[in-house]
Amino acid sequence: MPGSKGWKHVDLPRLERGYQLVTTGLGLADTFGRKFKYLRLSVTEVCNFRCVYCLPDGFAAQTCGSAAPGLLRSNEIQNLVEGFARLGVTKVRLTGGEPTVRADILEVAKAVKSVTGINTLALTTNGYRLKTLAGPLKDAGVDQLNISVDSLTRQGFHSITGMDRLDEVLAGVRAAQSAGFESIKINVVLMKDRNDQEIGDYLRWAKSEKLSIRFIELMQTHSAAGIFEEARLSLEPLRLRLVDLGFKPKTKALTEGPAQEYVHPEYVGSVGLISPYQQGFCDGCNRLRVSSTGALRLCLFGDETQSASLRDLIQSPSQQSELLHRVNTLLKLKPEAHGLHQGRLGNIQNLSQIGG
Ligand code: SAM
Ligand code: SF4
């Protein structure tokens, strides 16, 4: 069975016997009372950029040139999302790797959006194809876009991403604005001496345009240990700067991601901070992840005991009740928090493997 090897680590029959289902009236919940209305679905591990904190040597170097076998097909994705929608998920994010390297990304987006109960479809991209794809993605049902723009200078962008493509990516942001997306977020992984001197430029961007600039704290991964030591920055000084400037924290909706959003009456846009090392960050976890080959991943930084394949149960719509049962059962294994503070990085090498 393609993609099923990931769950050899999890004794499903024993788990299924030993735990009682707790599908609440409100949908999926774990043993810590957290509700899951948000699914992040990786549609490929392949990427054409070489971000210093993610794939510093490029995708081909990581995999010896071959992509992970057996990407989920769009009919499997539809069966999967139908199952999660029946469990109360209302928002799906397509991510990767770079989701737009998939030739059938529009078909995938349409398949997900066609599922009853999925109200919001989001996509995270490095923006390299957005100039031409923004309109078609909107027409295919994508509501929200996150676009990574780690520097606003050509040289800075090139040195962080390995690609001299700032102009194309900014043209992609403008194309997304013209296409009328309900929400556009700009992801910026904040790094010492690489882009922290540009914070003022990003804030000016948020002041004049309806965008949310998301500053993300650099996370440690196996592939990018060096850059973590060298460039990691706490976002706390930036938070204090925002408060000093008159920004106020905004209340979060249930399906919103991990960012704490800040708004200001004189800013058309807003600013978000994602601080995974902050105390209590995992308390508000509302998302589950599925890999591009169909493995449910309970925590971004979990090991193989927190990942299991669902692929054998998404071959036909008739398998829905077994799928729901397995997801519910696995959810009992979701840990209370990641182990980053204890140096436990889990078994993924970098975030391109599951989507950040
Ligand atoms: N390729 C797409 C992109 O870059 O937007 C989607 C996948 S990427 C893994 C998703 C997000 O994770 C990006 O915003 C990226 O900047 C972020 N990311 C990747 N590695 C990270 C790390 N080590 N620490 C913090 N953020 C990271
Ligand atoms: Fe590719 Fe996104 Fe990773 Fe950059 S962060 S290398 S664009 S997957």
H or E element: which one contains 146?
strand 144-148
**Among the atoms of ligand 1, which is closest to the Cα of residue 356?**
12
Q: Is the pLDDT at 12 greater than 60, yes or no?
A: no
pLDDT digits (tens, 9 = 90+) for 19-31: 333 443 447 777 7
- Residue 261: name the closest of 274, 246, 245, 276 by CA: 274
pLDDT of residue 29: 79
pLDDT of residue 65: 46
- Residue 293: name the closest of 54, 96, 62, 11 by CA: 96
Lowest mean pLDDT among 23-32, 116-125, 295-304, 327-336: 23-32
Starting from the CA of residue 187, give the closest ligand.
1
Residue ranges covered by each domain of the chain: 12-353
User: The domain at 12-353 falls in which architecture?
Assistant: Alpha-Beta Barrel (3.20)
Among all chains, which residue has been given the structure tokens 């979060």? 252
Ligand 1, atom 22: nearest CA belongs to which residue?
219
pTM, 2 dp:
0.90
Starting from the CA of residue 57, give the closest ligand.
2
Pocket of ligand 1 (CB under 6 A): 47, 53-54, 95-96, 98, 124-126, 148, 187, 189, 216, 218-219, 221, 224, 351-352, 355-356
Q: Is the pLDDT at 296 greater than 90, yes or no?
A: yes
Category of 26 on φ-ψ map: left (φ > 0), alpha (ψ -120 to 50) or beta: alpha
pLDDT digits (tens, 9 = 90+) for 147-183: 999 999 999 999 999 999 999 999 999 999 999 998 9
Rounded to whole angstroms, the Cα distance separating 263 from 56 reads 34
215: CA distance to ligand 2 center in Å? 16
Q: Is 352 in the pocket of ligand 2 (CB under 6 A)?
A: yes
Measure CA 43 to chain center: 11
Q: Ligand 1, residues 128, 137, 216, 233: which to mutate, most atoms within 8 A of Cβ?
A: 216
Q: Is the pLDDT at 338 greater than 90, yes or no?
A: no
Measure CA 148 to chain center: 12
Do the Cβ atoms of 110 and 89 come closer than 8 Å? no
Q: Ligand 1, residues 41, 45, 137, 148: which to mutate, most atoms within 8 A of Cβ?
A: 148
129: CA distance to ligand 1 center in Å? 17
pLDDT of residue 131: 97
Q: Is the pLDDT at 298 greater than 70, yes or no?
A: yes
Rounded to whole angstroms, the Cα distance separating 276 from 42 reads 20
Residue 284 — very low, low, confident or very high, per pLDDT cuts 50/70/90?
A: confident
pLDDT of residue 250: 93
Position 267, amino acid: Y
33: CA distance to ligand 2 center in Å? 32
pLDDT of residue 6: 42
Q: Is 51 in the pocket of ligand 2 (CB under 6 A)?
A: yes
pLDDT of residue 25: 42
Q: Among the residues of 140-294, which ranges form H helices?
A: 154-161, 166-179, 199-208, 225-231, 236-245
276 against 253, higher pLDDT: 276
Do the Cβ atoms of 76 and 128 come closer than 8 Å? no
Ligand 1, atom 12: nearest CA belongs to which residue?
356
Lowest mean pLDDT among 44-48, 56-60, 85-89, 323-327: 56-60
Q: Is the pLDDT at 3 greater than 50, yes or no?
A: no
Work out the percent of the chain whose per-residue pLDDT is above 70. Answer: 87
**How far from 6 is each of 46, 128, 194, CA to CA, in Å?**
19, 31, 37
Q: Is 97 in the pocket of ligand 2 (CB under 6 A)?
A: yes
206 against 308, higher pLDDT: 206
Q: Ligand 2, residues 43, 44, 47, 161: which to mutate, most atoms within 8 A of Cβ?
A: 47
pLDDT digits (tens, 9 = 90+) for 208-234: 999 999 999 999 888 888 899 999 999
